[in-house]
Amino acid sequence: MVELITIILPVYSLLRREFVLFYRQKSRIVGTVLQPLIFWIVIGSGLDKSFISRDNMGYSEFFFPGIILMVILFTSVFSTISIIEDRRAGFLQGVLVTPVSRGTIVLGKILGGTLLGLMQGILFLLLAFTPLISIELSVIRLILLVSYMFLIGFSLTGLGVLIAWKMDSIQGYHGIMSVVLFPLWIFSGAVFPADGVPVWLFWVMKLNPLSYGLDLMKGCLYDSSGFQSSPNDTILALTLMILFCLVNFAVAVRFAQCRA
Amino acid sequence: MGTALKIDNLCYRYGDRLALDNVSFACSEQESLGILGPNGSGKTTLFRILSTIAESQSGSIQVFGSDFEGNLAVVRRSIGVVFQSSSLDMKLTVRENLKHQGLFYGFHGAELDSRIDELLEKFGIAERGADYAGILSGGLRRRLELAKGLLHRPRLLLLDEPTTGLDPSSRADFWRYIDQIRTSENATVIFTTHLIDEADRADLLAILESGQVVAFASPKDLRTGICQEFVVLECDDDDRLSTEVGQDFDVTVEKVDGSIRIGTNDSGKLVADLLAKYGDSIHAIHSRKTTLEDVFFAKTGKWLN
């Protein structure tokens, strides 16, 4: 019981800080929700007529889960970039000399970014219940979808933490973001479907762990999707995503455990 | 009184450069220990190791009898750290900063609230509790850092050049609070500094130069270990006069910045003798007490400031 308290309290503290700081930085809301919303409306409207999908889906509808994924990705990026700021400002060293284990610190940080992303992702998801898009979601599918979004958020924030922990400049992180994190999103099937792409691109998409996360989301929103055609595919996708999530978490903790 | 900190043969390297070279010293509970040294002497490296940020490479450290390595959680619970740079979250309020710190040490609820109230009161920042840390003055931020470092009632408080960037009145203020803490919280205080007057406040002082402890004793013993006073005189031809004084009085004469400096235990007599013999050549003469600056010079051949 005493042991559990030493995990719960610091995690709660880090989580709370994440939300308080988010609330006090209004500009972050613009970056993480408004930008994807504009993206979705502009690109969706622009490509709606010229986009032909296997399932007779308009581009706005096709792009919808991809844009939720973007919201989650952006939130995790913004949330983990603060590790570099915290290190530079000195806040982080104050945390590192407390008796709290590094695993707990990483867990608190990841949960903060994940829940923040989930909150914004759910806000975005509410669009599914407006006339802007015609998606029907049962309660079970909604619960599943939110769980998958949590899993994706946890994985991406974990990835963000492990990148940010070793970085000493925000510029460096932006560099990694544009060559690793953003392509992870583009090649996940968020922007274009995997059907009919060149073989090399198909394999890039197939090897991208985020493709499976997006597939899980699509599986909840629509009846069929990219790589999944049977329940076995869903189990495979889920297994791969959980693996991706655990590996990111483990490596992030490992990095955090290193002392100078 | 038990031993608070014991360091034996501590070494630390950055590549080829030896930053700490066989550092050994110890201090007892409720003492204050100062670590004096110029930039690059190794005091920040030593502080990083003592605060558990950096890992020691060889040698051993014990805090209240617990070995450092392998007992990090225990050690971290018994130390409170105030870094030279701020560890505050400037976007959180004074109270929120302390609350977060408390949660990290397992405090919560009414116990945490009352400890925060107590500390805010003690450090004279009770009415600033709802202000963002970012709008506090430098002096108040340091006090908040102190409150943060002390929140979990550590037995050992580590301070890294804690008054850097403060004006003289805030510095005096800060040390007044440290004196208060030593009695009210029964804490052992270890601090690094490059300032002579701050070093003089310590019960025990370790002088660090090029990674080595070149002197370790109370400031008083360090000073009297050289000589009680110095006579400083100015003249036209300091080369000639310093040679003559050295021969005539059997004393060590040093030329420092165009003046002649002579160590003595009886400055009254020396001044009178010097004036009687070389009165015509001397423009100005005065005596002063030995300072830690003189101790540093005597031990290292360099001036600290």
* pLDDT value at A225 more than 60: no
In a domain, B123, yes or no: yes
- Whether pLDDT at A229 is above 60: no
> How many other C-beta atoms are found inside a 10 Å radius of the C-beta of residue B64?
17
pLDDT value, residue A231: 67
Domain boundaries, chain A: 2-258
Nearest to A90 among B83, B103, B108 (CB): B83
Is B99 among the domain residues? Answer: yes
Tell me how far apart the alpha carbons of residues A211 and A139 are, in angstroms, rounded to a whole number.
24
* Closest Cβ opposite residue B92 in set A6, A17, A100: A17
Nearest CA in chain B to A23: B91
Residue B96 counted as domain residue: yes
d(CA B143, CA B163): 10
| Same domain as B170, residue B280 | no
Mean pLDDT, rounded, for B109-133: 95
In a domain, B44, yes or no: yes
Close Cβ partners of A24 (under 8 Å, ≥ 6 residues apart):
B91
Beta-strand pair B58-63/B66-67? antiparallel
* Contacts with B103 from chain A: Cβ below 8 Å: 9-10, 12-13
Q: Are residues B248 and B142 in the same domain?
A: no
The reply to whether residue A20 touches residue B86, judged by beta carbons under 8 angstroms, is: no
- What pLDDT, on a 0 to 100 scale, did the predictor assign at position A226? 47
- Chain A residues touching residue B77 (CB < 8 angstroms): 99
Q: What is the mean pLDDT of chain A?
A: 89
Residues on chain A bordering chain B, Cβ-to-Cβ distance under 8 angstroms: 5-6, 9-10, 12-13, 16-17, 20-21, 24-25, 86, 89-91, 93-101, 259-260
User: Which residue does chain B place closest to A24, by CA atoms?
Assistant: B91
Are B245 and B136 part of one and the same domain?
no
Q: Under 8 Å CB-to-CB from B94, ≥6 apart: which residues? A: B120, B125, B128, B129, B130, B131, B132, B133, B136, B144
Q: Which of A74-88, B32-46, B248-262, B284-298 has the lowest mean pLDDT?
A: B248-262
Answer whether B89 sits within 8 Å of A10, measured CB to CB: no
Considering only residues B173 and A56, tell me which one the structure prediction assigns the higher pLDDT.
B173
- The pLDDT of residue A2 is 53
Any domain includes B305 = no
B interface mutation test: which of A91, A100, A257 has the most B CBs within 10 A?
Answer: A91
Nearest CA in chain A to B71: A99
Same domain, B214 and B266: no
Please say if the pLDDT value at position A1 is more than 60: no
* Residues B210, B244 within the same domain: no
Q: Do A13 and B96 touch (CB under 8 A)?
A: no
Which of B218, B238, B267 is where one domain is finished? Answer: B218
Q: Which residue of B has its CA nearest to A25?
A: B91
- Same domain? For B86 and B128 the reply is yes
Region B281-289: what's the mean pLDDT?
89
In a domain, B117, yes or no: yes
Residue count of chain A: 260
CATH of the domain at B234: 3.30.70.260
Residues B120 and B212 in one domain: yes
Residue A232, pLDDT > 80, answer no
Q: What is the pLDDT of residue A50?
A: 82
DSSP string, chain A: -HHHHHHHHHHHHHHHHHHHHHHH-HHHHIIIIIHHHHHHHHHHHHHTTT---TT---HHHHHHHHHHHHHHHHHHHHHHHHHHHHHHHTHHHHHHTSSS-HHHHHHHHHHHHHHHHHHHHHHHHGGGGSTTS-----HHHHHHHHHHHHHHHHHHHHHHHHHHHT---HHHHHHHIIIIIHHHHIIIIISS-STT--HHHHHHHHH-HHHHHHHHHHHHHSS--SS--SHHHHHHHHHHHHHHHHHHHHHHHHHHH---
**pLDDT of res. A223:** 67
- Residues of B whose CB is below 8 A from A259: 52-55
With 0-12 CB in 10 A as exposed, 13-18 as middle and 19+ as buried, what is B138? Answer: middle
Query: Sorting pLDDT into bands at 50, 70 and 90, what band is A227?
Result: very low
| Banded pLDDT at A164 (limits 50, 70, 90) | very high
pLDDT surpassing 80 at residue A138: yes
Query: How many structural domains does chain B have?
Result: 2
Of residues B54, B72, B87, nearest to A260 (C-beta): B54
On the question of pLDDT at B19 being above 60, the answer is yes
| Same domain (yes/no): B273, B248 | yes
| Residue A187 one-letter amino acid | F
- Segment A102-127 shows an average pLDDT of 93
Query: Residue A56 pLDDT > 80, yes or no?
Result: no
Contacts of A172 by beta carbon, 8 Å cutoff, 6+ apart: none
Cα distance between residue B274 and residue B260, in whole Å:
12
B105 contacts A98? CB cut-off 8 A:
yes
Flag if B86 and A90 touch (Cβ within 8 Å): yes
pLDDT at residue B280 in the model:
83
pLDDT digits (tens, 9 = 90+) for B191-246: 999 999 999 999 999 999 999 999 999 999 999 998 889 999 888 888 888 888 88
- One domain for residues B12 and B52: yes
Q: Are residues A107 and A20 in contact, defined by beta-carbon separation less than 8 angstroms?
A: no
Domain membership of residue B115 (yes or no) is: yes
- Do B248 and B137 share a structural domain? no
Same domain, B26 and B85: yes
Q: What is the residue range of B264's domain? A: 228-289
pLDDT, tens only, B254-280: 888 778 889 888 888 888 888 888 888
User: Does B184 share its domain with B115?
Assistant: yes
C-alpha distances (whole Å) from B86 to each of B17, B53, B89, B169 are 28, 15, 8, 19
Q: Which residue on chain A is closest to B158 by alpha carbon?
A: A97
Q: How far apart are CA A255 and CA B223, in angstroms?
A: 47
Mean pLDDT of A65-88: 91
Distance from CA of A74 to the nearest CA of B (A): 21
> Out of A26-35, B177-186, B264-273, which region has the weakest mean confidence (pLDDT)?
A26-35
In a domain? residue B299: no
* Residue A73 pLDDT > 60: yes
